[in-house]
Amino acid sequence: MRIVIVGHVDHGKSTLIGRLLYDTNSISKEKIAQVLEVSEKQGKGLEFAYILDALEEEQDQNITIDTTQIFFKTGKRDYVIIDAPGHKEFLKNMVSGASYAEAAILIVDAAEGVKEQTKRHAYILSLLGVRQILVAINKMDSVGHSQEKFGQVKKKLSMFLDKLELMPSEVIPISASRGDNVAKHSQNTPWYNGPTILEALDSLIKTRELEDRPFRLPVQDVHKFDGKRVIVGRVESGHVKQGDAVCFSPSGGISRVKSIEVYGKKPSRAEAGESIGITLEDQIFVDRGEVASHESEKPTVTQSIKTNVFWMGKEPLSVGKRYLLKLTTQEVSCTVSTVLRRINSSTLETVEENSQKLFDTEVGELILLTRKPIAVDLFDIVPTLGRFVIVDAHRVAGGGIITEIVQEEIIIKDLRAAECPFTYEHAKPLIEHIKRGQTIEILVTNLPAVETIGRLAFEHNLEFNFRREEDYIKLTVKAPAEG
């Protein structure tokens, strides 16, 4: 099971990881001796947080080890802690889905209580659909193992989590450094009858049974050898069998699976999580970025999606600017047509509606338009096809999930604050939308843009309306009425 440990800085994430590794015997005696030596030099007892540092140092010297994964196991199953807290890339990996968590431990310092990052991390968990959450109220030793203090922090946190519709399966009073209620029930909290962290982890269910969801194979590559073409990718959900009719989206090509190939073997079936190659009965054109599915359960092909995006770009996200959207192996240029809501990710308050920008650490409800059709699913149905990242100037600047497919409704393109005037480049994706029956409203403040859009409407034989609003111009462009 893949888990993530989140919480405010210094609330004890690294210490809890060290403790979990130590108590499950997941770390060598030599390493412990080494950590103890460092701790003692600083006049401390074994400092559990250093276990993580020691592992990271080791990993730095050996770049082949995945630095973002830490393993431990209980009698019941294996766990992977994805990413290390404090990593600069932590938030980014979380929102980009580079490391997907099935469950999370949210850690809160009993003395400090709920802090900004506690809230922000909880919000990101809810945004990314991580629904299984354990809360660890840490450093109980520092508040004299007070049941009252525990109750206060628990109440305050629950109020916040309620708003996010996050229901923690357990709220556990712990001391990560002393080991209270982590692997062993503590004598210090006789008032607590619930499970330890390890017991609570073991009772979580493996939620995302990706195997039971519709079959999706995003194409990574197409290799040609011995006159045959092998389509390579990872089965993200569902399963596929030899002989199945498969469909490729967005292109729409259809064929049957002639063979499945995995390292020289030819299994008759493959399922979620496996990297495979397939050959087809017909020579249809398939390229990287296509998504294979069964005909009866295809992903949606669209150019406009409603999304929740967490922004972490240095530059604010701005309406009308071109970005690169990456969704599985699909990469397509996109623009944001509307920021419906800007939300402060720690207070959850709406900062502004119908905004032009989205700033660092904010969450936005946005309508995204892609220049080319893409194959997507709603996040709740197929998580991997419902999650994407936004790249700005070669850096991941945002990540989010698809909450709705926007179809046949008015797309409002607000260019009032756009730094550059409306150009033909802006227009191309819009023309596609219009041809598919959508109406576009374009809000501008400068007359040259009106001329550009008017000319465009003329060239493409579109209906074009002009209306002056208070201090801007509203242009409506749509396909001409039939007849």
Q: For the packed helices 49-61 and 29-41, what is the interaxial angle rounded to 10 degrees?
A: 120
If you ran DSSP here, which 8-state letter would residue 216 be given? B
- 12 part of the interface to ligand GDP, by CB under 6 A: yes
**37/425 with CB nearer ligand GDP:** 37
Residue 348 Cβ vs ligand GDP, minimum distance, rounded to whole Å: 22
Burial class (CB in 10 A: 0-12, 13-18, 19+), 33: exposed
What is the per-residue binding string for ligand GDP in 387-426, x denoting contact by CB under 6 A?
Answer: ----------------------------------------
**94/375 with CB nearer ligand GDP:** 94
Dist. CA 422–CA 237, nearest whole Å:
41
Figure out which of the listed residues 177, 300, 335, 356 binds ligand GDP, where binding follows CB under 6 A.
Answer: 177
- 176 part of the interface to ligand GDP, by CB under 6 A: yes
Residue 163 Cβ vs ligand GDP, minimum distance, rounded to whole Å: 24
* From 33-41, 172-180, 441-449, 472-480, span contacting ligand GDP (CB under 6 A): 172-180
Dist. CA 213–CA 229, nearest whole Å:
27
What is the per-residue binding string for ligand GDP in 330-359, x denoting contact by CB under 6 A?
Answer: ------------------------------
Do residues 269 and 249 make contact, with C-beta atoms less than 8 angstroms apart? no
Dist. CA 128–CA 308, nearest whole Å:
9
The phi, psi pair for 63, rounded to 5°, reads: -65, -10
| Footprint (CB under 6 A) of ligand GDP, residues 133-152 | 138-139, 141-142
Could you tell me the sign of the dihedral formed by the alpha carbons of 312, 317, 323, 326, in that order?
positive
Strands (E), 130-268: 132-138, 170-173, 217-225, 228-234, 239-241, 245-249, 254-261
Q: Which residue has 């525990």 as its token pair?
A: 150
**134/477 with CB nearer ligand GDP:** 134
- 15 part of the interface to ligand GDP, by CB under 6 A: yes
Residue 19 Cβ vs ligand GDP, minimum distance, rounded to whole Å: 8
Do residues 302 and 373 make contact, with C-beta atoms less than 8 angstroms apart? yes
- 119 part of the interface to ligand GDP, by CB under 6 A: no
| Secondary structure (DSSP) of 288-313 | TT-EEEEGGGPPEEEEEEEEEEEE--
| Footprint (CB under 6 A) of ligand GDP, residues 31-70 | 49
Dist. CA 1–CA 312, nearest whole Å:
28
* From 3-11, 300-308, 381-389, 426-434, span contacting ligand GDP (CB under 6 A): 3-11
Figure out which of the listed residues 32, 86, 284, 405 binds ligand GDP, where binding follows CB under 6 A.
Answer: 86
Figure out which of the listed residues 1, 4, 11, 172 binds ligand GDP, where binding follows CB under 6 A.
Answer: 11
Q: What are the tokens at 108?
A: 């809160």
- 9 part of the interface to ligand GDP, by CB under 6 A: yes
Residue 18 Cβ vs ligand GDP, minimum distance, rounded to whole Å: 7
Dist. CA 307–CA 320, nearest whole Å:
16
Residue 196 Cβ vs ligand GDP, minimum distance, rounded to whole Å: 14
- 85 part of the interface to ligand GDP, by CB under 6 A: yes
Binding site for ligand GDP (CB under 6 A): 7, 9-15, 49, 85-86, 138-139, 141-142, 175-178
